[in-house]
Amino acid sequence: MKFALAGNPNSGKTTLFNALTGSTAHVGNWPGVTVDKKEGVYKKLSEKIDIVDLPGIYSLSPYSPEEVVSRNFLLNEKPDLIINIIDATNLERNLYLTTQLLELDTPIVIALNMIDSVEKNGDAINALELEEKLGAPVIEISALKQRGIHKLMERAYQEAKKSRVGESVFEGTKYQNLFFEIKKLYENEGVDNICFHTVKMFEGDQIEKEKYPDIACVADKIKDSIDTGDFEGDFEGIVADLRYKKIIKDYATAYKRSKPKEAMTRSDKIDKVLTHRVFAIPMFLLIMFAVFHLTFSEDFLYLGAIGIIPKGSFSLPVIGEDAIPSPGVLLYNCIEELTTLIGNALYSSLPKGAWYTSLLVDGLFSGLSSVLSFIPQIMVLFLFLTILEDSGYMARVAFIMDRAGRKFGLSGRSFMPLIMCFGCAVPGIMATRTLENEAERRRTVMLTPFFSCGAKLPIWAAFGGVFAQAFSVINAEAVVYGMYILGIAVAIIAAMILNKTLVKGDMPPFIMELPAYHAPQFKNLVLHLWDKLKHYLARAATVIAGSVVVIWFLTSFNFSWQMVDDPSDSIIGNIGKFISFIFVPLGFGMGENGWKFVVAAFTGLIAKEMVVASIGTFSGMDGGTALETDGSELLGTPMAALMLGIGGVIGGLDVSIPAMLSFLAFNLLSVPCMAAVASANAELGDKKSLIIAIIFWLATSYTMSLVIFWVGAFFVWNWWAALITVLGIAAILITLAALSAKGLLKTRKIKKETKAGKSEECVKEGL
């Protein structure tokens, strides 16, 4: 048997689905998390039950991808039963969907979820009364506390064996006769779900009219003949009104409040502060800074810097000197100690000078450990971001950003997939499917790389570490935080430019329901982090390890297949030196070692972790910064070597901060990894759009890096640096203008369906 889970967003579908099937699907706080349906099995009844988790919906109208997915599933695949899950704390609103599901012939049970919250408020629901009035079983459950779940399934199992005929809200209203007349038209057609179809035809639903054009014709005539009063022919409005009236009159009376509904809930009060017109954005920046401070700061709460811990108090392994590290750094230090031990053991047990020692130590160990060392910090950061998401704050961020970004062409709706990109761009790009507006969707896909993903984090952390060590003016957390904020800022500017040039198109208003704040679920956090960790380790063991071996090989041999001592004589060294002139204007292509950065940036196309892994491998193999500095044993960890490598690399220039910042910006803003490019290709739909997107990413990253390097250089060197910057930017703008004049970014026609259902031709520029 097959049961479908249907309900509003945030009603707890995924939580119930996980509880039923033992699965670990992501419980999210915003639409778009479950665009596609998910399937699992419930095994605790005498028969196995397939459970399908449908996307969250408010109605079965044809206006959003979620609604269409759910509707098609319910009508065409005919589950044996629908479990309609309801957030009982919002009974009235949730019953709106219920009135629509009741129109189907499919048996249905109603799961009154979050009954724990209802009880906590001191309220109660008369489930029996509700059951009588709805004409379908009503079972109180708590998906979260796993209460009433088996009872729900037993009841559902009984119910699924019965047959059911759909019921509408029309009975006893003044539209009853009209309804019956339309219904008769279907009776001759021999379709099932007649009640549902009749209601849809009454509403003038587009999908329905296309499917039954003959009936639509007759129905339109019947509808024309009646007086709709204030509704002025808005039949959809009439039905909505009937539904609400019935809910308020018949169903909502089952909810017994212990005290009158408070005008302001706790969430409202918190929102008064966190979504304040003026303070919302500073507050967001502050919260994010706190997160990065907790993850990357060597000096927690600046206890050392402000002198609470006096100078010379202590110098300890793992902890550090005269300061207490943040939790993220503490974990990192532990891992660093561990890698030193492993590295030493590995190095001393292998014969010196053998090619496989080089492969294992300089290649695999240096490359992989430079990526893996950051796992604790990545996990700590994700923990904080997940807490922010799960508590409901991230949904507010979308709301705040809508208010701030709308003027620039970035709506809150596109912000939600973008926030997902902080984890990984692939699901983020896929989530853009929830955006109805095509132009907005394409724009959003093009912005995804700017939201720094988890795989880029090792780059920021490694360089942040170098900055902190080499130039005590900047600390690590500021570098990492800066990269995230830079990404968001560039995204806003880029949205504005895209909105005016490549992907024009207006933005529909953003309506979003803000979930109530609640404490994050421990189990949920653990599952989520475990998922990330698994994913990360799997990548390290496959793609990254494989690529590191290739990089090691290309760095160890020259074109005549002989092993070389100096990496710059190697295959990759020669190629790198050949192409690095392109990056000389950006600073990091300069000097003797510039090619290493260039190659590292290129390997980032495979996976962004490769940027650090490649530099780690180069450092491991470079005589000057090798691990075996004193000949017998490793002096430091690969990370230390990596830092030395980075810190000492920009040859010829005594100042490397601008070049390094430019390198970071380039990696942040440029073409994302292959997996993300493939998803972007799938979502953009055609090769030309993808090519434009790639050019756009390259142009953005190149320009930003150029600006950063030369503005930085200006502070460090001369005024003429500023002049070069201006000329460089002008050159890029002229190239872009020339490209668009040549018709590369031509106009093309897109057929657009309007809401009213009439199809019209409209011309859109660009993509």
Binding part of the chain for Mg ion, among 33-41, 420-428, 442-450, 543-551 by CB under 5 A, reads: 33-41
Residue 1 DSSP SS3: coil
Query: How far apart are CB 40 and ligand GDP at their closest, in Å?
Result: 13
Q: How many residues does the chain have?
A: 767
Query: How far apart are CB 144 and ligand GDP at their closest, in Å?
Result: 3
Q: Residue 414 touches which of ligand GDP, Mg ion, none (CB < 5 to 8 A by kind)?
A: none
Q: Residue 14 interacts with ligand GDP (CB under 6 A)?
A: yes
Binding-residue pattern over the window 121 to 160 for ligand GDP, x denoting contact by CB under 6 A: ---------------------xxx----------------
Query: How far apart are CB 438 and Mg ion at their closest, in Å?
Result: 25
Q: Residue 513 interacts with ligand GDP (CB under 6 A)?
A: no
Closer Cβ to ligand GDP, 11 or 555, answer by number: 11
- Interface residue with ligand GDP, options 116, 131, 241, 628 (CB under 6 A): 116
Q: How many residues bind ligand GDP (CB under 6 A)?
A: 20
d(CA 442, CA 458): 29
Q: Residue 34 interacts with Mg ion (CB under 5 A)?
A: yes
Closer Cβ to ligand GDP, 397 or 613, answer by number: 397
User: Is 264 exposed, middle or buried (CB count within 10 Å of its CB: 0-12, 13-18, 19+)?
Assistant: exposed
Closer Cβ to ligand GDP, 120 or 500, answer by number: 120
Q: Residue 113 touches which of ligand GDP, Mg ion, none (CB < 5 to 8 A by kind)?
A: ligand GDP
Say if residues 402 and 489 touch (Cβ distance below 8 Å). no
d(CA 478, CA 460): 10
Closer Cβ to ligand GDP, 143 or 646, answer by number: 143
Q: Residue 114 interacts with ligand GDP (CB under 6 A)?
A: yes
Q: Residue 297 interacts with ligand GDP (CB under 6 A)?
A: no
Closer Cβ to ligand GDP, 480 or 516, answer by number: 516
d(CA 636, CA 355): 22
Residue 314 CB neighbour total at 10 angstroms = 11
d(CA 708, CA 663): 9
Closer Cβ to ligand GDP, 139 or 642, answer by number: 139
- Interface residue with ligand GDP, options 3, 10, 409, 555 (CB under 6 A): 10
Closer Cβ to ligand GDP, 60 or 736, answer by number: 60
SS (H, E, C) 574-621: HHHHHHHHHHHHHCCCCCCCHHHHHHHHHHCCCCCHHHHHHHHHHHHH
Closer Cβ to ligand GDP, 39 or 686, answer by number: 39
Q: Nearest-CB residue to Mg ion?
A: 14
Q: Residue 11 touches which of Mg ion, ligand GDP, none (CB < 5 to 8 A by kind)?
A: ligand GDP
Whole-angstrom CA distances from 740 to 82, 178, 346, 766 are: 53, 57, 56, 9
Closer Cβ to Mg ion, 234 or 531, answer by number: 531
Closer Cβ to Mg ion, 97 or 612, answer by number: 97
- How many alpha carbons lie under 13 Å from residue 240 in its C-beta half-sphere? 12
Query: How far apart are CB 266 and Mg ion at their closest, in Å?
Result: 24
Say if residues 637 and 373 touch (Cβ distance below 8 Å). yes
Closer Cβ to ligand GDP, 87 or 477, answer by number: 87
- Whose tokens are 């100042």? That residue is 655
Binding-residue pattern over the window 15 to 44 for ligand GDP, x denoting contact by CB under 6 A: x-----------xx----------------
Say if residues 52 and 2 touch (Cβ distance below 8 Å). yes
User: Is 51 exposed, middle or buried (CB count within 10 Å of its CB: 0-12, 13-18, 19+)?
Assistant: buried
Say if residues 600 and 611 touch (Cβ distance below 8 Å). yes
- Interface residue with ligand GDP, options 126, 521, 558, 740 (CB under 6 A): 521
Contacts (Cβ under 8 Å, ≥6 apart) of 726: none
Query: How far apart are CB 416 and ligand GDP at their closest, in Å?
Result: 13
* 521 torsion bin: left (phi>0), alpha (psi -120 to 50), beta (else): beta
Query: How far apart are CB 157 and Mg ion at their closest, in Å?
Result: 24
Q: Residue 454 touches which of ligand GDP, Mg ion, none (CB < 5 to 8 A by kind)?
A: none
Question: 39-68: which residues touch ligand GDP (CB under 6 A)?
Answer: 56
d(CA 748, CA 751): 10
Output Rg (C-alpha) for the chain, integer angstroms.
Answer: 30
User: Is 289 exposed, middle or buried (CB count within 10 Å of its CB: 0-12, 13-18, 19+)?
Assistant: middle
Binding-residue pattern over the window 357 to 396 for ligand GDP, x denoting contact by CB under 6 A: ---------------------------------x------
Query: How far apart are CB 122 and ligand GDP at their closest, in Å?
Result: 15
Residue 315 structure tokens: 């110098």
Q: Residue 14 interacts with Mg ion (CB under 5 A)?
A: yes
- Interface residue with ligand GDP, options 11, 333, 475, 667 (CB under 6 A): 11
d(CA 376, CA 529): 11
d(CA 343, CA 349): 10
Closer Cβ to ligand GDP, 143 or 280, answer by number: 143
d(CA 553, CA 518): 52
Closer Cβ to ligand GDP, 22 or 282, answer by number: 22
Q: Residue 29 interacts with Mg ion (CB under 5 A)?
A: no
> Which helix (DSSP H) or strand (DSSP E) does residue 412 occupy?
helix 412-420
Q: Which spans of this chain sit near Mg ion (rule: CB under 5 A)?
A: 14, 34
Positions that interact with ligand GDP (CB under 6 A): 7, 9-15, 27-28, 56, 113-114, 116-117, 142-144, 390, 521
